[in-house]
Amino acid sequence: MKKILFSCLMAFGIGVNAQYDFSYDFETAPVDVGVSHFGGGALNTANFCSASTSGSLTYSSTVTQTGWMADLLTAGDLYGQTNNGQALTVSFNYKKAAGLTGTLYVMYALYNESSDNWTIYTVGTGVALTAGAITNCASLSATIPAGTFDPNKTYGVGTWLQRSGSSTGALYIDDIVVKQAVVTNPPACTTFTYPTNGSTVSSGTVGFTWPTVAEAATYKVTIGTTAGGSNVVNTNMIGTSLNVSLAANTTYYAKVVPTNNVGDAVGCQEISFMTNSNVGHCGPLTSSAPTAIAPIKSVTFGTATNTSDPTATTIGSFPVHQDFTSTEFVVKDDVTSVPLTVLGTTNGNSVNGWAMSVFVDWNNDGDFDDAGESYFNTTATMIRKAGVTDNPISLTGNIAIPAGTTLGKKFMRIKYNFSGTSIHTALTTACENMINGQAEDYTIDYRSALAVSDVNKKSVSVYPNPFTDVLKISDVKGVQSISINDVSGREVKSLAPAAELNLSSLKAGLYIVNLKMEDGTVKTIKAIKK
């Protein structure tokens, strides 16, 4: 499923009862029957599939993305049909002039009132159109699963062509049919796949997930600190996942109840689980268009660069969410902001825009909800480029460090995604799943600018020397890690800083004790095991 932002034509609402059942063969003007278009559509009496008329969409140097859409509330007003949140099947017939190439999809469109535009979601893999003309009518259909439509939002359904390259020509659409399943019973129960009953999970942001239930339109989720409680979460939501911020070392109770316009599932069981003192973050993130991912090629933070996808040249099948937390960007506390550059892959289409957003858990509480923890994720401050054909494309910004941030390791998430005239919704939060883009996680090592002095390093010693089983270190202040090498240079032990090191497993002989300091230097001491 691909998501594309497009300026709005007009807004239509959607109801919550009955069902939607609509067909249109273009024999009357679209505006009279609840059908509209993106991109300058018109009626055509020469290339039709039934009766004597079709809908024509002409692609040119200025019109590059177009489609026909059945407007749900308009049709509901005319025919008394409204959406019930169930699976909805869309089908249509089409012809095509020579020259035009691309991928033709079934789509659904979500109207965004605040930005006055439509967000287009393509459904399925679509059908590839080659340069040759299609003079005999072909057909395309796809099913939009139950639980996709929010009964409180505005939608349309129909056709969408994602043109390839700069090809031009006309596409002819006919016989749009939209049918929605009818339900007479409430859905069945489900339960959480994560966390599970009786489990112990990390605190911080916990990703609750559950399986899709046939005929469920939405899911009622409650989470509380007492049995049957809902003091943490009490919501009715679309989809099968929810990110929740949970406290450490606490017992929680949770239940998910599928529901539709007939009623709620009956007899669904509550689970209980505990959190520990570890801090986790939401993820891994997924994509609804895993074969059309625009990957990040590299991230430069300060003066350090991590190259993640050096061979990527266009969108395709790439990992949606990559874990680079073992890559640590060192930042000293004598700076107030750090420059960041994300080099991203595009499809080279100047109509599209590309954006990045960044989230840093500066206070290590497992979320990104605190002041100063999100960057470039609102329309006003978004780092975004549109109207360019650059591939790769470079997006840059500065990451300001909040005043009072304590020293230590910090979790950073970078999201890169397609963006239209408004910000892409997958960029607004750290936990929202991706559509066409990629997310990468890193670690910031926030250190003191005051390095361990040479005097302190010189004063560090090990004893007794020679030793039998335990080697003691006189001062571990400023030591980040310890490694033990034999005389050949081979590392035989890697240890966390400690005043006493148990080396009973080593054979007798000469060893090199390496103390890696927090300022990046290494102090080397020879020690003999008896």
442 plus 458 within the same structural domain: no
Please report the sign of the dihedral spanned by the C-alpha atoms of residue 39, residue 43, residue 44, residue 49. Answer: positive
**By the 8 A CB rule, do 500 and 514 touch?**
no
3-state DSSP call for residue 459? Answer: helix
121 plus 237 within the same structural domain: no
Q: How far is C-alpha 486 from the geometric centre of its chain's CA atoms? A: 46
DSSP string, 210-232: ----TT--EEEEEEESSTT--SS
Distance, in Å, from the CA atom of 108 to the CA atom of 22, rounded to the nearest integer, reads: 15
343 plus 212 within the same structural domain: no
435 plus 461 within the same structural domain: no
Q: Within a domain: residue 102?
A: yes
305 plus 333 within the same structural domain: yes
3-state DSSP call for residue 192? Answer: coil
**By the 8 A CB rule, do 174 and 159 touch?**
no
Q: Token digits for 335?
A: 């700076």
Tell me which of 229, 252, 280 is where a domain ends. Answer: 280
Q: What is the pLDDT of residue 4?
A: 45
Tell me which of 447, 478, 495 is where a domain ends. Answer: 447
Residue-wise over 83-96: b if at least 16 C-beta within 10 A, else e?
bbbbbbebbbbbbb
Q: What is the pLDDT of residue 6?
A: 44
* Long-range residue pairs from 261-266, CB within 8 A, at least 24 positions apart, any chain: 261/16, 261/17, 261/84, 261/85, 261/183, 261/217, 262/183, 262/184, 262/185, 262/186, 263/186, 264/186, 264/220, 265/186, 265/187, 265/188, 265/189, 265/190, 265/213, 265/216, 266/186, 266/189
121 plus 141 within the same structural domain: yes
Q: What is the pLDDT of residue 11?
A: 31
Q: What is the pLDDT of residue 198?
A: 97
Residue-wise over 419-437: b if at least 16 C-beta within 10 A, else e?
bbebbbbbbebbbbbbbbb
Q: What is the pLDDT of residue 231?
A: 97
What CATH number corresponds to the domain at position 259?
2.60.40.10
70 plus 152 within the same structural domain: yes
440 plus 461 within the same structural domain: no
**By the 8 A CB rule, do 387 and 322 touch?**
no
Helix (H) or strand (E) holding 443: strand 438-447
Tell me which of 447, 468, 488 is where a domain ends. Answer: 447
Closest CA to 385 of 426, 337, 349: 349
88 plus 233 within the same structural domain: no
Q: What is the pLDDT of residue 119?
A: 77
Domain, as residue range, for 56: 3-180
146 plus 208 within the same structural domain: no
Using a 10 angstrom Cβ sphere, with 0-12 exposed, 13-18 middle and 19 or more buried, the burial of residue 307 is exposed
**What is the number of domains present in the chain?**
4
Q: Is the pTM of this model over 0.75?
A: no
| pLDDT lower than 50: segments of the chain | 1-17, 73-80, 452-455
16 plus 144 within the same structural domain: yes
Q: What is the pLDDT of residue 75?
A: 39
